[in-house]
Amino acid sequence: MGSVFLPNLRTGWHVDQAILSEDDRVVVLRFGREEETPCMIIDELLYSIADKIKNFAVIYLVNLDKVPDFNIMYELDQNKLEPYTLMFFYRNKHILCDFGTGNNNKLNFPIYDKQELIDIIETIYRGARKGKGLVISPKDYSRAAKNI
């Protein structure tokens, strides 16, 4: 149900505008398909924290089938093992986060705890404000990512 309440970006132009137009907050993009169960779960989680993080982050949803423009560029949907991907941008710059998984470009493993996700986004925001292009996650997810 979270996908109903969070803003959906319908074209590549809308995605670009969302990234370009935000100067003071982190733009969190969820790429995925809202009909898939893991995507529904993360959408619910994102919706539940949206109000808590509104001062430093904004969340948008992007359907991989309706907006395929970024699939190759961001290596999305390369395999069906990634039901969703979260990516973070600040002042038109892709912010990388070291989760301990070997993939710093995106978050594509399950997270079920609200506070954990808030902590990740806040860490990215604080690092990005300091001009860092790569931040270290508050928790090491190397084992969590292997249990997918």
pLDDT, tens digit, for every residue of 82-111? 789 999 999 999 999 999 988 899 998 999
pLDDT at 146 over 70: no
Could you tell me if 30 and 84 are in contact, meaning their C-beta atoms sit under 8 angstroms apart? yes
Q: Is the pLDDT of residue 24 over 80?
A: yes
Name the phi and psi angles at 27, rounded to 5: -95, 120
Q: Look over the chain and give the mean of its residue pLDDT values, rounded to a whole number.
A: 90
The model's pLDDT over 114-123, given as tens digits with 9 standing for 90+, comes to 999 999 999 9
Residue 148 has what DSSP assignment? -
- What pTM did the predictor assign? 0.92
Q: Taking a C-beta distance cutoff of 8 angstroms, is the pair 15, 62 a contact?
A: yes
H helices present in 1-148, as ranges: 2-5, 12-21, 37-50, 114-129, 142-146
Q: 146 burial class (0-12, 13-18, 19+ CB within 10 angstroms)?
A: exposed
| Residue 79, pLDDT above cutoff 60 | no
Q: What is the DSSP secondary structure assignment for residue 70, as one 8-state letter?
A: G
8-136 has CATH 3.40.920.10 classification: no
pLDDT band at 80 (very low <50, low <70, confident <90, very high): low
> Considering the chain, what percentage of its residues have pLDDT values greater than 90?
72
Alpha-carbon torsion, ordered 39, 69, 23, 116, to 10 deg: 20
Predicted local confidence at residue 78, as pLDDT: 54
The tokens of 106 are what?
């995106």
